[in-house]
Amino acid sequence: MVRLAVSVEGLTEERFVELVLYDHLLGLGIHVTPISIGGNVSIPRICHNIEKLIHGFDFVTTFYDFYGFKNKDQGETKHGLEAKIRNALPERLRGKFFPYIQMYEFEGLLFSCPAIMSTILQDEEVEAWAGGVLRQFGGNPEDINDSPQTAPSKRLERQTSYRKTTHGPDITKQIGLDKIRSTCSGFNDWLSKIECLNDNNGNR
């Protein structure tokens, strides 16, 4: 059994790992443990957290939002930020670590299925609204952008009764991994990498 720690931003992401990823990965011989960093995500805090975790697990990864990441450079990209996180760790620890940044935030995943979002939020108007948002971004939830007005969570808070820690994980659980993966390529690539951790004795 491969032991994997996922350093997450907060309670919402912690519940998401427990509700949506845990059983799936356990079936592949990967025991996943989400560990919250408690918000205020920055590279120094991440490195401090990862260095404490890495000796107790076979591998460590992250699940942080791009939106709200502290002290990003102007024009920063997902892959550039992931590289900075990895390179900030001591070289001797990097073989067990692969960072992941979710574009633009966890709530983007909820737009994978507007119908289920509408059902969980108990508001039939949400389906048409969320579908319209999704069409604006070519059907890609990970392109829904990250300003204080247009980030996925901000849209949901303005338009619906969305409560982050309860609704978010419940909606993703009902949507299911197959649908999320088919619409969110960045998330799919990350999960595919995790699924391979138990291949060839855990060698990536």
* Token pair listed for 15: 């519940």
**How far apart are the C-alpha atoms of 184 and 139, rounded to whole Å?**
9
pLDDT of residue 150: 87
Whole-angstrom CA distances from 166 to 30, 43, 83, 130, 177 are 26, 28, 32, 19, 18
**How far apart are the C-alpha atoms of 188 and 178, rounded to whole Å?**
9
Whole-angstrom CA distances from 168 to 3, 140, 186 are 26, 18, 19
pLDDT of residue 203: 43
**How far apart are the C-alpha atoms of 8 and 39, rounded to whole Å?**
9
pLDDT of residue 26: 98
CA angle 2, 5, 11 (to 5 degrees): 140
pLDDT of residue 93: 94
pLDDT of residue 146: 63
pLDDT of residue 74: 87
What's 65's domain CATH number?
3.40.50
* 81 and 133 fall within a common domain: no
Parts of the chain with a pLDDT under 70: 146, 200-204
pLDDT of residue 63: 98
Tally of domains within the chain: 2
* 13 and 57 fall within a common domain: yes
* 152 and 192 fall within a common domain: no
CA angle 175, 38, 111 (to 5 degrees): 20
pLDDT tens-digit map of 130-149 = 999 999 999 999 999 867 78
pLDDT of residue 148: 77
* 122 and 93 fall within a common domain: no
- Bond before 67 cis per omega within 30 degrees: no
* 56 and 132 fall within a common domain: no
**8 A C-beta contact, residue 6 and residue 49:** no
Range of the domain at 21: 2-104+184-202
**How far apart are the C-alpha atoms of 194 and 204, rounded to whole Å?**
9
* 176 and 196 fall within a common domain: no
pLDDT of residue 202: 42
